[in-house]
Amino acid sequence: MFGSQTDRRATSLELFGRDAADERGPGHPIIAGKQGVERVVDEGRHEYLVDGLKGDRIDSVAGHGLRQGGQTLTTAGRSAHGRTISLAVIMQKGAPFRASGGPFLHDHEGLGAGGIRLAALMTSASQEARELAVTDEVVESFAGAESARYREVMQSLVRHLHDFVRDVRLTDEEWHEAVGFLTRTGHMCDDRRQEFVLLSDVLGLSMLTVAVNEVVDPAATQSTVFGPFFVENSPEIPLGGDLAAGAAGQPCWVEGTVRGVGGEPVAGARIDVWEADGDGLYDVQYDGARTANRGHLFTDASGCFRFWSVRPVAYPIPSDGPVGRLLAAAGRGAMRPAHIHFMIRAAGYHKLTTHVFVAGDEYLSQDAVFGVKEQLVAEFADHPATEAPPPGGSEGSVWSSLSYDFVLASDAAAG
């Protein structure tokens, strides 16, 4: 077997798996210390071939003597018997080791039923040492930073960025393309357009940061993305006032309470509200300096709030810039399910930045920025023109309403 392959070297691979008839569960070594075969395909490209897998299912493969411990790659294929093969390769952290694409090849001549071939891309030891030396030098350059937090963040950023470059074997052309992309993203930004926030949103970086900083209090309302459309110094709206300010859309009455996790009403909480209009556009997306569908108000002594706005609709995030092209290249949609943005601040409580989504929206399961949480989905009721609206509403036209209560975690919980 492997008759045409050169530079064949035995390498020790430990295989842990489960025979179909073995009821002892995964992890039971069916073949331990089995010899595999490494061959050099070309410069920097090695293959590891393992044969004689007699079990029906392989749960992991640990490669020893290839690199030592750390990074784990997993993939799956099907055995010659049609059964699933799961495979994990444990490699040195940062070592550029990549499983070949597609299902693993099996049924090689001489391998026997259930054999696996793993193709890996690996740099030579000297090349790897050169690359790691660059990283070490840059990490060290931040060692003298006055701020310990700055040092920690920058050194970690450098390590991860360098790992990324090694992982994908970034080409010069791709580096230039990345610089061009970020430059175009920056040029797209001004005080009314925030393409970098949008980029963070579509990469899930925003939601991950939300998750990292989420106050773990199951009684509190959950957070979601801040988004690119918040504007400082929105107008103050009286309780029961209309923040739509002439924006297109079906009138929508919004009311609710702000309470602490103990159920106590939070009086005087500042609620910032912003949303797209009935055409799916925020005021800042129109020419001119119009302010509409945004404002702030304060809860009354009972923690209650109420205002008029418009019923939100699903809308596409701006797709005329580099982020739009990024989504298109990925074949991803740009739609966000209908929602209203809220930011609620009150002394003694953790600031809440969140949305309320419209139940039944077709895009709830495919939000372009990954912001939907089940708790934040609420029923928006529709009312006929014959039903009298709350004070401030227009008689004789259809209207919607939302009732939603927010619960703030205390600052103590946030700490």
Q: Rule CB under 5 A: which residues touch Fe ion?
A: 227
> Least distance to Fe ion from the beta carbon of 291, Å?
16
Using alpha carbons only, how large is the chain's radius of gyration in Å?
Answer: 28
- Determine contact, residues 162/96, Cβ cutoff 8 Å: no
Closest to Fe ion by CB, 227 vs 322, is: 227
> Least distance to Fe ion from the beta carbon of 275, Å?
7
> Least distance to Fe ion from the beta carbon of 371, Å?
8
* DSSP strand pairing (45-50 vs 339-345): unpaired
Closest to Fe ion by CB, 165 vs 248, is: 248
Closest to Fe ion by CB, 87 vs 313, is: 313
> Least distance to Fe ion from the beta carbon of 336, Å?
6
Between helix 322-330 and helix 172-187 the angle, nearest 10°, is 130
> Least distance to Fe ion from the beta carbon of 223, Å?
14
The whole-angstrom separation of Cα 47 and Cα 66 is 11
> Least distance to Fe ion from the beta carbon of 222, Å?
16
Residues in the chain, how many? 415
What are residue 382's DSSP bridge partners?
A: 400
- Determine contact, residues 383/390, Cβ cutoff 8 Å: no
> Least distance to Fe ion from the beta carbon of 258, Å?
21
Residue 281 token pair: 């556009």
Closest to Fe ion by CB, 128 vs 201, is: 201
> Least distance to Fe ion from the beta carbon of 415, Å?
29
- Chain Cα centroid distance, residue 8: 42
The whole-angstrom separation of Cα 97 and Cα 121 is 5
Closest CA to 350 of 285, 258, 277: 258
- What's the distance, Cα to Cα, between the start and end of the chain in Å? 63
The whole-angstrom separation of Cα 292 and Cα 309 is 9
Closest to Fe ion by CB, 40 vs 205, is: 205
Contacts of 214 (CB under 8 A, 6+ apart): 222, 223
- Determine contact, residues 338/312, Cβ cutoff 8 Å: yes
Please write down the HEC assignment for all residues of 115-128: CEEEEEECCCHHHH
Closest to Fe ion by CB, 282 vs 406, is: 282
